[in-house]
Structure 1
Amino acid sequence: MNFYELLQREGIAIEKESGEHLFRQGETDTSLYLINSGLLKAYYLSDDGKESIKSFLSNKDIIGSLTSAHASGLCSFSLLCLELTTVTKIPFDVIREHSRRDVNIANEMLDVLLQFSMKKEKREYEFLCLSAEERFSLLIKSRPNILNNITQNDLARYLGVTPVGLSRIKKRVEDKTKPHK
């Protein structure tokens, strides 16, 4: 059996409307989720209510709060559907148990966890070493389809700038790509 067969056999299909959460920061959630369709945002809320967007997720992405699912802690972030979304939910304990018995599932789970880690490493690098303008340009190149499906406020929060700052960045990027006369 492979990881995706395990998801089909042991997972639960869930459909959520736009505006519904799969889980919230501060709650417990012991599952991983495979996104089958839709668009979600993973975000943090600071104590003063400021929202920072960790990532946007879509088809075939896998996500969960490992702090909650594996370490029995609380979710450190929230996961919100930005449009009608279908996911397959599977308890982390089920994955762990099957991984102990099946080397194929264990290896695939290792790959999933490495993907989590590499995605986080990339995001940290971009946030710490690239300017907001460079992050915006990279997003345009790597995920152009997402830009039509998120609000400008969410885009600004993802880039770590204000909406006014985003407008300036967009103008500069647009000016750079215009043919010069």
Structure 2
Amino acid sequence: MNTIFKELLPVEKANELLAIGKIKTLKKGDYFIRAGAIPKKIGFIKKGLFRYVYINSLGKQFTKGIILEDQFIASYSAMISNEPSYFFIEALEDSEVFSIPHKSWLNLVETDAFWMKFLLKLVEKGFITKEKRERELLLLNAETRYVNFLKEYPNIEDRIHQTIIASYLGIQPESLSRIRKKIAT
């Protein structure tokens, strides 16, 4: 049995998923999903690190989320509405993703109650993450957001550039530098 889904799924269900997808290798800076394109796949991060990022017309980047190994990635709302994604899913380091075509995924979900329940759990997890992120951005100061970031993503600072962390926190890189100096003392 391939260990790509570790303890996430029973063996028979993991094998069903393995039968409909394939491993894709992405280099640092590659996109799994591009803004402006209608997404046709979901992914499971086997190895690597990704971010959801908006890029405005001036090239300014806004990091919506950071996604680690053993998690699913998708521009799901765009995919289910058959509309272009508003954000990119960018590899922040060389990565391996198990890519699943949306049509094949839909077939599983529509024909087996297990996969519908599984999808519901993924959607619930995404909703909880989104609500927590919004709450922190609206109610917490930058220093507290940074401390929470370090707790949520231990040892990640060596894996990504500080400008991405600042973007995720909704602050300027200079502000992050000040916060890091303050915490270090």
* Aligned residue number for residue 178 of structure 1: none
State the Cα distance separating 1:67 from its structure 2 match.
2.7
Runs of 4+ aligned residues of structure 1 deviating over 4 Å after TM superposition are none
* One-letter code aligned to 2:174: V
Q: Which amino acid aligns with 2:133?
A: R
SS of alignment partner, residue 100 of structure 2: strand
Matches within 5 A, 1:79-158: 79-158=89-168
Separation in 1 of the partners of 2:175 and 2:123? Answer: 34
Unaligned runs of 5+ in 1: 176-181
Give, in whole Å, the separation in 2 of the partners of 1:111 and 1:67: 16
Q: SS of the residue aligned with 1:60?
A: coil
Counterpart secondary structure, 1:70: helix
Report the count of equivalent residues. 174
Q: What letter corresponds to residue 153 of structure 1 in structure 2?
A: T
Q: Does the 8 Å CA contact 1:67/1:74 hold for their aligned counterparts?
A: no
* Contact 1:67–1:76 under 8 Å retained in 2: no
Render the CA deviation track for 1:17-54: whole Å, top value 9, x for unaligned: 11211121111212111000011121001222210001
Q: Which among 49, 59, 62 is matched to residue 39 of structure 1? A: 49
CA distance in structure 1 between the partners assigned to 2:23 and 2:79 by the alignment: 18
Report the CA distance between 1:87 and its aligned residue: 0.5
Code of the residue aligned with 1:138 in structure 2: it is N
The separation in 2 between residues aligned to 1:11 and 1:112, in whole angstroms, is 18
Kindly indicate whether the alpha-carbon contact (under 8 Å) linking 2:23 and 2:98 is maintained by their aligned counterparts in 1. Answer: yes
Which one of the candidate residues 151, 168, 172 is aligned to 2:178?
Answer: 168
1:99 touches 1:105 (CA, 8 Å); kept in 2?
A: yes
Q: Is the 8 A contact 1:30 1:68 kept in 2?
A: no
Q: For 2:90, give the aligned amino acid.
A: L
Gap runs ≥5 in structure 2: 1-11
Superposed CA RMSD in Å reads 1.3
State how 1:4-83 maps to structure 2 within 5 Å: 4-83=14-93
Residue 172 of structure 1 and its aligned partner are, at CA, apart by 2.0
Aligned sequence identity (%)? 28
Q: CA separation in 1, counterparts of 2:134 and 2:178?
A: 23
TM-score (norm 1): 0.90
1:16 and 1:171 map into 2 onto residues whose CA distance is 34
Once residues 140 and 17 of structure 2 are traced to their aligned partners in structure 1, the CA distance between those partners, rounded to angstroms, is 37
Decide whether aligned partners of structure 1 residues 7 and 145 sit closer, same or farther in structure 2, where only a CA change above 3 A counts. Answer: farther
Shift of 1:83: 1.2
* Residue equivalent to 2:9: none
Confirm or deny: 8 A CA contact 2:34 2:88 kept in the other structure.
Answer: yes
CA distance in 2, matches of 1:46, 1:70: 23
CA–CA separation in structure 2 for the residues paired with 1:61 and 1:76:
21
